[in-house]
Homo-oligomer: A and B are copies of this chain.
Amino acid sequence: MDLKDEASIAMLPAESRAPMPHLAIDIGGSLIKLVYYSRDGDWLPEDNKIWSSKESLGVSNGEGNHPLSEGRLHFAKFETSKINDCIEFIRSKQLHVGGQHHEVPSKNKIIIKATGGGAFKFTDLFKEKLGIVLDKEDEMDCLVAGVNFLLKAVQREAFFYMDGQKQFVQIDHKDLYPYLLVNIGSGVSMIKVDGDGKFERVSGTSVGGGTFWGLGRLLTKCQSFDELLELSHVGNNRVIDMLVGDIYGGTDYAKIGLSSTNIASSFGKAISVDKELEDYQPEDISRSLLRMISNNIGQIAYLNALRYGLKRIFFGGFFIRGHAYTMDTISVAVHYWSKGEAQAMFLRHEGFLGALGAFASYERHGFDDLTAHQLAQLCPRRESCSEGTLHSAPHCDVIKEKKTL
């Protein structure tokens, strides 16, 4: 199994807490995200073939590897267009029946928490193929619940990204709200969060991850989102973007604070009649696309944070994938447009916010409080957070992350 394909968070002993639900699912426009629970040793992978087919879609949500003995939250994803692979994966692991390899009596409906637009679109398919009922949870509710859960319960979840380095911050529960959540999926939602379950979707943009991969597919021969993303590492956007210096003959436009290397027009050099699509390198196209989209999201996010007086902006969603250049561009955009007054923050489990929120909704009105509070009481003396601590009330390291085999 490709290490990148699955990640997990080890949980404290199941006996010490409320019974765990087993599976929640977030079906977006491009990707399906699963969160499921297992005790250690349960459900070893049975279907490498399915995993292998997904290996191009990497999950890179942190480097931690701290196994605890009793159970884990696992994370997995599939392309929405290959939903049948996802259904086969669920069936092969019997996730929909709690990992028990026996049939559930037909009179007992199996109900699985699901969110994202696909929870509506694919209701019939899940019923038909797996005999399960998708219990639909609102997408924004789940996103917010997922982020609040992570920020409260997971140490080293949030970080700044600067000069190629992550700087983790621990956020005081009492000083968490309000914040702006920018979830970059196929499209982008911007949500002002004022508390648990208290939020408003204040803005968004259609220029998101689907735009990067959609335009990228049309412009390059890349076969996967991750291939396109990787290419951007070695690309040079200046080949395609029109810089201020290109217009000004190499000089700055200093009077209004534009340096010669600022991008004046994304893809503006491609207006040249001397070059056709095949004359451009895919890595340069990828880098230009990534920079255009990340910068645009950072700019709109900052303007909305400013509008509502929000000092923290968290960026999440599967578009980011822990990708250095993406985070760097977003960070620079927020810094640039705010003239250094705001900073972008990122989340290690960025891609599974909605799925985690759906998982949490099994015990809505109690799950995340339960988790954070119960576990905080169980391990009050664990080491406190020392890296990049912003506030003076670190809580214990209740949940650790581990990549599974």
Q: What is A's interface to B at a CB cutoff of 8 Å?
A: 28-30, 81, 116-118, 120-123, 138-140, 185-187, 201, 203, 205-211, 213-215, 217-219, 225, 240-242, 244, 246-251, 253, 255-256, 263-273, 276-277, 280, 285, 292, 295-296, 299-300, 303-304, 306-307, 337
Would A263 and B219 be within 8 Å (CB), given that A201-B256, A214-B271, A307-B307 are in contact? no
Are A264 and B307 interface neighbours, CB within 8 A? no
Can you list 6 A-B pairs with a CB-CB distance of less than 8 A?
A: A29-B264, A121-B247, A206-B263, A211-B265, A214-B240, A303-B307
Would A265 and B187 be within 8 Å (CB), given that A29-B246, A29-B247 are in contact? yes
Are B121 and A206 interface neighbours, CB within 8 A? no
Are A215 and B214 interface neighbours, CB within 8 A? no
Are B247 and A118 interface neighbours, CB within 8 A? yes
Would A270 and B300 be within 8 Å (CB), given that A117-B249, A247-B121, A292-B211 are in contact? no
- A240–B211 CA distance with the chains assembled, in angstroms: 10
- Sample of 19 more A-B contacts, CB < 8 Å, known A139-B253, A211-B267, A299-B300: A29-B242, A29-B265, A120-B251, A121-B249, A122-B249, A140-B255, A186-B242, A186-B247, A186-B265, A187-B242, A187-B263, A201-B256, A206-B263, A208-B268, A210-B242, A210-B264, A214-B242, A215-B215, A307-B307
User: Which B residues are in CB contact (< 8 Å) with A303?
Assistant: 300, 303-304, 307
User: Which B residues are in CB contact (< 8 Å) with A280?
Assistant: 218
Which residue of chain B has the shortest Cβ distance to A302 in the bound complex? B303
- A285–B217 CA distance with the chains assembled, in angstroms: 13
Are B205 and A299 interface neighbours, CB within 8 A? yes
User: Which B residues are in CB contact (< 8 Å) with A251?
Assistant: 120
User: Which B residues are in CB contact (< 8 Å) with A285?
Assistant: 218
Are B218 and A186 interface neighbours, CB within 8 A? no
Which residue of chain B has the shortest Cβ distance to A221 in the bound complex? B276
User: Which B residues are in CB contact (< 8 Å) with A272?
Assistant: 81
Are A296 and B29 interface neighbours, CB within 8 A? no
**How far is the CB of A207 from the nearest CB of chain B, in Å?**
6
- A217–B206 CA distance with the chains assembled, in angstroms: 22
**How far is the CB of A296 from the nearest CB of chain B, in Å?**
6
Are A187 and B268 interface neighbours, CB within 8 A? yes
- A306–B306 CA distance with the chains assembled, in angstroms: 11
Are A138 and B255 interface neighbours, CB within 8 A? yes
- A266–B210 CA distance with the chains assembled, in angstroms: 7
**How far is the CB of A297 from the nearest CB of chain B, in Å?**
11
User: Which B residues are in CB contact (< 8 Å) with A122?
Assistant: 249
**How far is the CB of A273 from the nearest CB of chain B, in Å?**
7
User: Which B residues are in CB contact (< 8 Å) with A337?
Assistant: 203
Would A268 and B304 be within 8 Å (CB), given that A138-B255, A219-B219, A247-B117 are in contact? no
- A292–B277 CA distance with the chains assembled, in angstroms: 21
Are A210 and B265 interface neighbours, CB within 8 A? yes
- A74–B209 CA distance with the chains assembled, in angstroms: 45
**How far is the CB of A367 from the nearest CB of chain B, in Å?**
21
